[in-house]
């Protein structure tokens, strides 16, 4: 009777499902965290939509999440009465993976042969709803979009296709029913149909969820709320465990690994707010893609207002995740209002400074964590040298660069300055495509032979910021590939002058011969083993930038 359609998963989705079915991720319990997290998001969205659109015919009386199991039939159901999905949304959101970087992720996964490497990658990617297929061999999702007349029923065994059909009587919201794999029943550990197991997982992973999560009472009576529902940022810091922060982080970030650093801020007075921010351990796959998002959510008085709030965090700190809860904003607040609000601007300044100072203390106290941070996010942070004038010095302080001092370890500018030679006036750097190319450059010879340290900057972004940053701590940054670099003592200068006279005829001849190609020909003090090199003027483009422009056809 019903109009049952059979549709195919998008190919990336199919590949990911295969991984889930074969359960390459060892912690299966996390599937429930994902389903509860989705249900919570759906309730947040409904509350917001109902608030914005008073005409909407929706039921917001008793918003909650219910988890029920049927040990007899070996099913587990997670139900919410939130926003729900239309048929097209189900196809788009559940049948495909819209996340940018998916193809790249799958390619890497194929390359990483060992199981540990794959687990790592999965952790970085976060599989969301598909985690259900770690424990279920069939999943049924029934949903009705809030305000719509009819619902949809989706079902799949995770292999290639799914069916979709109308569900006329579906209640508002979404229910996801897992038909548990038989093998899990045998292992006590993974008996997801048992009430005790469900309660244990909810308390461990989802305690902070602000919506009630209800589970039928042990004696089969009235359902009980099993989570404490306390917003972590509203509890005193000493009361919250590391594990609670981690689980909260996973909920807001959709990440599967613990954060590198947790940051708390509480402001009292005329504009009161709390912030709970995290620095992830891994860069997201879309960090440098155009569709990338920023990671901070805005709440007003515990009510979720928006994801991806760009007014709270600048572009170069887009990898920072977390929540800001402002007590004095209206629930009606819009992006336009946020952009103009002076209090919001002050808050953002404080958040930025706090993130930067947190990284600075990581450098001092947790060298390894800082190294991870810099490896993952350094390229993004350096964008701030161009964008955030006010914090430029603070940003420079947390930067590290490769240098001639040590082939393995990067150096901070402060460390560089400690090693500066007596009388050295400038911080020397050279930009280029790779360390090897720079090390083979004749420009480096004189500096190397006289024992000057040179920063070897090989990120494309380096090319941009070195031009914008005049100095650090009173020392100018100087490209060694440009202009005259004066490394000489008085005697050496005298000797150079004599040589200049000696070679005057040759130089004059070279200048005429090469007039078409170079501006000038000079005797050089920089070279020790190479016979000649080409240099730019102090105010010219660096050779690398010149190459970039030429490649762009300018
Ligand atoms: P993510 O939560 O990271 O976006 P998921 O795979 O967990 O990825 O979910 C994919 C999408 O499916 C969600 O973004 C949401 O739009 C939709 N979705 C999943 N579960 C629900 C639900 N219970 N109610 C409404 N929409 C849902
Ligand atoms: Mg999710």
Going across the sheet that includes 273-279, the strands are 261-267, 273-279, 321-326, 295-300, 303-306
Mean pLDDT of the chain, nearest integer? 88
- Indicate the pTM of the whole model: 0.81
Check whether 268 has a pLDDT greater than 80: yes
The β-bridge relationship of strands 295-300 and 321-326 is parallel
What percent of the chain is predicted at pLDDT more than 70? 91
Check whether 427 has a pLDDT greater than 70: yes
Check whether 256 has a pLDDT greater than 80: yes
Check whether 418 has a pLDDT greater than 60: yes
Rounded CA gap, 201 and 195, in Å?
A: 10
Check whether 185 has a pLDDT greater than 70: no
Answer yes or no: are the C-beta atoms of 225 and 212 closer than 8 Å: yes
Per the DSSP assignment, residues forming a β-bridge with 470 are: none
Confidence of residue 551 (pLDDT cuts 50, 70, 90): low
**Lookup: tokens for 79:** 């139900």
Rounded CA gap, 105 and 16, in Å?
A: 10
Q: How far is the CA of 200 from the centre of ligand 2 (A)?
A: 20
pLDDT at residue number 145: 96
pLDDT at residue number 522: 79
pLDDT at residue number 121: 72
pLDDT at residue number 549: 67
pLDDT at residue number 515: 86
Rounded CA gap, 103 and 297, in Å?
A: 27
Rounded CA gap, 41 and 65, in Å?
A: 11
Check whether 514 has a pLDDT greater than 70: yes
**Lookup: tokens for 275:** 């912030």
Answer yes or no: are the C-beta atoms of 300 and 329 closer than 8 Å: yes
Which residues 6+ apart lie within 8 Å of 180 measured at CB?
Answer: 74, 75, 76, 135, 136, 137, 192, 193
Q: Return the top range by mean pLDDT from 87-96, 211-220, 277-286, 351-360.
A: 351-360
**Lookup: tokens for 7:** 């549709």
Task: Summarize the confidence of residues 442-465 as an average pLDDT.
Answer: 90
pLDDT at residue number 24: 67
Per-residue burial over 175-210, b if 16 or more Cβ lie within 10 Å, else e, is: bbbbbbbeebeeeeebbbbebebbbebbeebbbbbb
What percent of the chain is predicted at pLDDT more than 90? 56
Q: How far is the CA of 129 from the centre of ligand 1 (A)?
A: 7
Answer yes or no: are the C-beta atoms of 3 and 165 closer than 8 Å: yes
Task: Summarize the confidence of residues 362-372 as an average pLDDT.
Answer: 96
- Count of residues for the chain? 554
Residues with CB under 6 A from ligand 1: 34, 38-39, 42, 80, 82-85, 93-94, 128-129, 174, 254
**Of residues 323, 68, 73, the one with CA closest to residue 213:** 68
Q: Return the top range by mean pLDDT from 173-177, 425-429, 467-471.
A: 173-177
**Lookup: tokens for 21:** 């079915």
Task: Summarize the confidence of residues 64-79 as an average pLDDT.
Answer: 95
Task: Summarize the confidence of residues 323-350 as an average pLDDT.
Answer: 90
Per-residue burial over 425-462, b if 16 or more Cβ lie within 10 Å, else e, is: ebbbbbbbeeeeebeebbbbbbbeeeebbbbbbbeebb
Rounded CA gap, 156 and 136, in Å?
A: 10
pLDDT at residue number 284: 86
Rounded CA gap, 305 and 332, in Å?
A: 8
**Of residues 296, 252, 295, the one with CA closest to residue 275:** 296
Q: Specify the 3-state DSSP secondary structure of 318.
A: coil
Check whether 516 has a pLDDT greater than 60: yes
Rounded CA gap, 324 and 178, in Å?
A: 34
Q: Tell me: the pLDDT tens digits for 283-308?
A: 988 888 877 877 899 999 888 888 88
Task: List the residue whose alpha carbon is closest to atom 14 of ligand 1.
Answer: 93
Is residue 339 annotated as involved in ligand binding?
Answer: no
Q: How far is the CA of 86 from the centre of ligand 1 (A)?
A: 12
pLDDT at residue number 187: 60
The β-bridge relationship of strands 471-472 and 475-479 is antiparallel
Confidence of residue 7 (pLDDT cuts 50, 70, 90): very high
- Token pair 């005797």 is found at 523
**Which atom in ligand 1 lies closest to the alpha carbon of residue 173?**
24
Q: Specify the 3-state DSSP secondary structure of 79.
A: strand
**Which atom in ligand 1 lies closest to the alpha carbon of residue 82?**
24
The β-bridge relationship of strands 321-326 and 426-431 is unpaired
Ion ligand 2, residue ranges at CB < 5 A = 38, 128
Task: List the residue whose alpha carbon is closest to atom 20 of ligand 1.
Answer: 38
Rounded CA gap, 550 and 554, in Å?
A: 5
Is residue 415 annotated as involved in ligand binding?
Answer: no
- Token pair 């929706």 is found at 58
Q: Return the top range by mean pLDDT from 80-94, 125-139, 459-473.
A: 80-94
Q: How far is the CA of 38 from the centre of ligand 1 (A)?
A: 5
Confidence of residue 526 (pLDDT cuts 50, 70, 90): low
pLDDT at residue number 25: 72
**Of residues 281, 300, 269, 274, the one with CA closest to residue 51:** 300
Rounded CA gap, 531 and 63, in Å?
A: 78
Is residue 127 annotated as involved in ligand binding?
Answer: yes
Ramachandran sector of residue 84 (left: φ over 0; alpha: ψ -120 to 50; beta: rest): left
Instruction: Label each residue of 332-390 as H, E or C.
Output: CCCHHHHHHCHHHHHHHHHHHHHHHHHHHHHHHHCHHHHHHHHHHHHHHHHHHHHHCCC
**Lookup: tokens for 494:** 């005298």
- Token pair 């607040």 is found at 333
Task: List the residue whose alpha carbon is closest to atom 4 of ligand 1.
Answer: 128
Which of the listed residues 41, 158, 170 should we mutate to test ligand 1's pocket, taking the one with most ligand atoms within 8 A of CB?
Answer: 41
Rounded CA gap, 314 and 319, in Å?
A: 10
Q: Packing angle between helix 543-551 and helix 460-468, nearest 10 degrees? A: 120
pLDDT at residue number 368: 96
Q: How far is the CA of 315 from the centre of ligand 1 (A)?
A: 26
Confidence of residue 383 (pLDDT cuts 50, 70, 90): very high
Task: Summarize the confidence of residues 522-534 as an average pLDDT.
Answer: 74
pLDDT at residue number 537: 65
Is residue 128 annotated as involved in ligand binding?
Answer: yes
Residue 545: CA count within 13 A, CB half-sphere: 18
Q: Tell me: the pLDDT tens digits for 143-172?
A: 999 999 999 999 999 999 999 999 999 999
Is residue 80 annotated as involved in ligand binding?
Answer: yes
pLDDT at residue number 384: 97
pLDDT at residue number 501: 84
Q: How far is the CA of 467 from the centre of ligand 2 (A)?
A: 42
pLDDT at residue number 99: 76
Q: Tell me: the pLDDT tens digits for 503-513?
A: 888 888 988 88
**Is the pLDDT higher at 387 or at 25?**
387
Is residue 61 annotated as involved in ligand binding?
Answer: no
103-117, 172-186, 332-346: the lowest-pLDDT one: 103-117
Check whether 215 has a pLDDT greater than 80: yes
170-179, 186-195, 333-342: the lowest-pLDDT one: 186-195
């Amino acid at each position: 009777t019903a109009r049952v359609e059979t549709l195919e998963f998008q190919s990336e989705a199919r590949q990911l499902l295969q991984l889930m079915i074969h359960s390459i991720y060892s912690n299966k319990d996390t599937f429930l965290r994902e389903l509860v997290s989705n249900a919570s998001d759906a309730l947040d969205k409904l509350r917001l939509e109902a608030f914005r659109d008073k005409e909407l015919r929706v039921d917001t009386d008793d918003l909650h999440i219910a988890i029920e199991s049927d040990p007899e039939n070996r099913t587990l159901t997670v139900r919410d009465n939130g926003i729900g999905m239309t048929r097209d949304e189900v196809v788009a959101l559940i049948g495909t993976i819209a996340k940018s970087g998916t193809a790249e992720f799958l390619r890497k996964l194929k390359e990483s042969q060992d199981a540990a490497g794959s687990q790592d990658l999965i952790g970085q990617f976060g599989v969301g709803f598909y985690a259900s297929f770690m424990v279920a061999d069939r999943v049924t999702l029934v949903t009705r979009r809030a305000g719509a007349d009819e619902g949809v029923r989706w079902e799949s065994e995770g292999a290639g296709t799914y069916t979709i059909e109308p569900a006329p009587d579906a209640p508002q919201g979404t229910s996801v029913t897992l038909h548990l794999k038989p093998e899990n029943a045998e292992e006590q550990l993974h008996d997801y149909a048992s009430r005790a197991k469900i309660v244990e997982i909810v308390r461990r992973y989802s305690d902070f969820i602000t919506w009630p999560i209800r589970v039928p009472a042990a004696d089969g009576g009235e359902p009980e709320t099993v989570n404490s529902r306390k917003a972590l940022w509203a509890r005193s810091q000493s009361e919250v465990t590391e594990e609670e922060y981690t689980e909260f982080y996973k909920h807001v970030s959709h990440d599967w690994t613990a954060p590198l650093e947790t940051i708390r801020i509480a402001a009292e007075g005329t504009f009161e707010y709390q912030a709970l921010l995290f620095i992830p351990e891994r860069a997201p796959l879309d960090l440098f893609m155009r569709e990338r998002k920023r990671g901070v959510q805005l709440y007003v008085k515990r009510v979720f207002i928006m994801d991806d709030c760009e007014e709270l965090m600048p572009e170069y700190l887009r990898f920072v995740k977390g929540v800001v809860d402002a007590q004095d904003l209206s629930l009606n607040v819009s992006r336009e209002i946020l952009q103009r609000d002076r209090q919001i601007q002050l808050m953002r300044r404080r958040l930025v400074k706090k993130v930067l100072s947190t990284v600075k203390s990581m450098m001092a106290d947790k060298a390894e964590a800082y190294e991870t941070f810099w490896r993952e996010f350094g390229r993004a942070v350096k964008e701030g040298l161009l964008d955030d004038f006010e914090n430029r010095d603070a940003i420079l302080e947390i930067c590290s660069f490769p240098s001639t001092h040590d082939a393995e370890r990067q150096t901070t500018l402060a460390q560089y300055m400690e090693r500066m030679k007596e009388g050295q006036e400038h911080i020397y750097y050279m930009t280029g495509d790779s360390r090897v190319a720079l090390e083979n450059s004749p420009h480096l010879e004189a500096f190397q032979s006289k024992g000057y340290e040179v920063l070897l900057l090989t990120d494309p972004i380096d090319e941009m910021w070195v031009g914008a940053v005049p100095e650090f701590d009173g020392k100018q940054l100087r490209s060694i590939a440009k202009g005259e670099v004066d490394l000489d003592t008085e005697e050496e200068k005298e000797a150079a002058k004599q040589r200049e006279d000696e070679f005057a005829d040759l130089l004059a001849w070279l200048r005429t011969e090469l007039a078409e190609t170079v501006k000038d020909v000079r005797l050089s003090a920089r070279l020790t083993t190479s016979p000649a090199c080409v240099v730019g003027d102090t105010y010219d483009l660096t050779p690398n930038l010149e190459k970039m422009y030429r490649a762009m056809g300018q």
